């Protein structure tokens, strides 16, 4: 029994499934999760001292690599003055200014502590501002675990085989309508059938929680037009895409304007931070200036703000990061597609920006039905082979591979070589 196995046994006695977030339990890949000791740059090291090339990156925040020296220094310096005051600090304004300057079409920001909170609050703003209750989301998109969003959800909810959670009141779920990703007609039908009742359409501008599914040409533009026509707000959930696709996120990358935007992950540099943002007119309807209540004891935490400011400042000052990580990810996707041509292991590779997924299906994956056609047992096999070769991937088919600035060409070469061994073995199996 290795150390991870021992620790996992103990963990399972005191935490459901031994974890604090379901996908970490490795159930979808039939293994014991690696317990992590440390991480640096592109590498993560488990408690037995095995080092892996990491493509999870804490599920997105570590775009500059683990234990970035500048971020660590900012955290260290800030924490000396105290960890939390529950009172305003200058850093909150600094991070808000930075976010407003980097992201198009937003004038004001409210900080929260997670992506879940960001979305939950943005949905409340949409409902409060429009006076309407219904929300349209897309099947297979994940927007955190608030009640209204756990309807046909992606990520861990999907991996667990229960995209609709127990414990969500039917009345709440009833106000969440689900459309098909990349299918504008499915959205228009819902808007027609629920005329005057839809507060917002919420979308992952690149779906990354059913595996990576890029928006089809015209899909986001079409959503914008439909929202305008039916007087619904358009919410871009940029918890993954924010500061990743481009400095200004998906709005900049695709040139489509959202009314409300949510952030998480990268905005906190590895600390628990989320945010929602929009026009002054919408955001001033939030308490204390407006009637839409939202609050948080630890929101705007000084140490978390310091980490976020440092990471975002670096990204703002180094736009070449985006060119590099996109080129590297495109390279890796090309390699993986060439391996499919060579070995016929039955994969489809989706990639956009620094996000990539290898689906174990031969049909194109443009929506939830396509993603669901994947053979999850074969993904699990792929995952186990890759892990044995020290490549640390998401332990589930319906997640993204995150490429970051710390990955070198040597790391990518090693990854492609491991994938070749794996796919060759799987093709012959």
Q: Which residues are annotated as catalytic?
A: 142, 237, 265
When asked if residue 381 is in the footprint of ligand PMP (CB under 6 A), the reply is no
Angstrom distance (rounded) from CA 191 to CA 167: 27
Q: What are phi and psi of 401, to 5 degrees?
A: -100, 125
Q: How far is CA 429 from CA 67, 320, 393, 398, 417, in A?
A: 40, 42, 22, 23, 18
Give all strands (DSSP E) within 321-370, no chain letters. 348-352, 355-359
* Interface with ligand PMP, residue 23, by CB under 6 A: no
Q: Which of 44, 119, 261, 267 binds ligand PMP (CB under 6 A)?
A: 119
Indicate the residue among 267 and 325 with the shorter CB distance to ligand PMP: 267
Of the pair 59, 219, the CB lying nearest ligand PMP is at 59
Q: Which of 237, 259, 326, 411 binds ligand PMP (CB under 6 A)?
A: 237
Q: Which is nearer to ligand PMP, 119 or 198 (CB)?
A: 119
- If we measure between CA atoms, which residue out of 312, 326, 332, 272 comes closest to residue 64? 312
Report in angstroms how near the CB of residue 124 gets to ligand PMP at its nearest.
15
Q: How many residues bind ligand PMP (CB under 6 A)?
A: 16
Q: Is 209 in the site for ligand PMP (CB under 6 A)?
A: yes
Enumerate residues 6+ apart whose C-beta is below 8 A from 84.
297, 298, 301, 302
Least Å from the CB of residue 71 to ligand PMP: 18
- Verify binding: residue 394, ligand PMP, rule CB under 6 A: no
The residue nearest ligand PMP at its CB is 115
Q: Is 165 exposed, middle or buried (0-12, 13-18, 19+ CB in 10 A)?
A: middle
- Give the separation between CA 297 and CA 378, rounded to whole angstroms: 44
**Binding-site member from 18, 33, 115, 370 for ligand PMP (CB under 6 A):** 115
* 59 counts as binding ligand PMP under rule CB under 6 A: yes
CA nearest 99: which of 319, 343, 308, 399? 308
- Subset of residues 356 to 375 that bind ligand PMP, contact rule: CB under 6 A: none
Location of structure tokens 């696709």: 245
Which of 299, 298, 281 lies closest to 290, judged by CA?
281
Q: Which of 106, 125, 239, 307 binds ligand PMP (CB under 6 A)?
A: 239
**Residue with structure tokens 């839409």?**
292
Among 111, 199, 226, 240, binds ligand PMP (CB under 6 A): 240
Site string for ligand PMP, 250-289 (x = CB under 6 A): --------------x---------x---------------
Q: Which is nearer to ligand PMP, 54 or 381 (CB)?
A: 54
Among 204, 259, 381, 411, binds ligand PMP (CB under 6 A): 204
Only one of the segments 65-73, 110-118, 299-307, 364-372 lies at the binding site for ligand PMP (rule: CB under 6 A); that segment is: 110-118
Element (H, E) at 142: none
Q: Which of 201, 148, 154 is nearest to 170 (CA)?
A: 148
> Can you name the residues that pair with 237 across neighbouring β-strands?
262
The interface region with ligand PMP, picked from 50-58, 213-221, 233-241, 327-335 by CB under 6 A, is 233-241
Please report, to the nearest 10 degrees, the dihedral formed by the alpha carbons of residues 282, 178, 401, 8 taken in order: 100
In angstroms, what is the minimal distance from the CB of 272 to ligand PMP? 8
Sign of CA dihedral 311, 316, 318, 324: positive
Q: Report CA-CA distances (Å) from 280 to 46, 234, 285.
A: 46, 16, 9
- Which of 78, 114, 294, 328 is close enough to bind ligand PMP by CB under 6 A? 114
Binding mask 122-161 for ligand PMP (x = CB under 6 A): --------------------xxx----------x------
Positions in the binding site for ligand PMP (CB under 6 A): 59, 114-116, 119, 142-144, 155, 204, 209, 237, 239-240, 264, 274
């Amino acid at each position: 029994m290795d150390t991870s196995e021992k620790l996992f046994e103990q963990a399972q006695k005191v935490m459901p499934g031994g974890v604090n977030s379901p996908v970490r339990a490795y159930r979808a890949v039939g293994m014991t999760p690696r317990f992590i000791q440390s991480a640096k740059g592109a590498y993560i090291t488990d408690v037995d001292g095995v080092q892996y090339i990491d493509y999870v990156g804490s599920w997105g925040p570590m775009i500059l690599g683990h234990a970035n020296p500048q971020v660590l220094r900012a955290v260290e310096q800030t924490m000396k003055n105290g960890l939390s005051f529950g009172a305003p600090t200058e850093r909150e304004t600094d991070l808000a200014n930075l976010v407003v300057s980097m992201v198009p079409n937003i004038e004001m920001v409210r900080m929260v502590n997670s992506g879940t909170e960001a979305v939950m609050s943005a949905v409340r703003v949409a409902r409060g501002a429009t006076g309407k209750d219904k929300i349209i989301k897309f099947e297979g998109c994940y927007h955190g675990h608030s009640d209204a969003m756990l309807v046909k959800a992606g990520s861990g909810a999907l991996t667990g085989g229960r995209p609709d959670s127990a414990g969500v009141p039917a009345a709440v779920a009833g106000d969440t309508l689900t459309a098909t990703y990349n299918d504008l007609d499915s959205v228009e039908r819902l808007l027609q059938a629920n005329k005057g009742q839809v507060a917002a359409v919420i979308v992952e501008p690149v779906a990354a929680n059913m595996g990576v599914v890029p928006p089809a040409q015209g899909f986001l533009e079409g959503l914008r037009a439909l929202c305008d026509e039916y007087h619904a707000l358009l919410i871009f959930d940029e918890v993954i895409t924010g500061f990743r696709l481009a400095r200004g996120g998906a709005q900049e990358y695709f040139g489509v304007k959202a009314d409300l935007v949510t952030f998480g992950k990268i905005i906190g540099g590895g600390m628990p931070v989320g945010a929602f943002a929009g026009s002054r007119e919408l955001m001033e309807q939030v308490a204390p200036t407006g009637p839409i209540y939202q609050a948080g004891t630890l929101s705007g935490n000084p140490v978390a703000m310091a980490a976020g400011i440092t990471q975002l400042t670096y990204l703002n000052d180094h736009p070449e990061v985006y060119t590099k990580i996109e080129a590297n990810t495109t390279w890796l996707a090309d390699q993986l597609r060439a391996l499919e041509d060579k070995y016929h292991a039955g994969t489809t590779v989706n990639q956009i920006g620094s996000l990539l997924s290898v689906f174990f299906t031969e049909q194109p994956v443009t929506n939830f039905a396509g993603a669901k056609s994947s053979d999850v047992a074969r993904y699990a096999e792929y995952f186990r082979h890759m892990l044995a070769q020290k490549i640390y991937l998401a332990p589930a088919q319906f997640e993204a591979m995150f490429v970051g600035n710390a990955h070198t060409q040597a790391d990518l070469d090693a990854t492609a070589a491991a994938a070749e061994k794996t796919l060759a073995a799987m093709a012959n199996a």
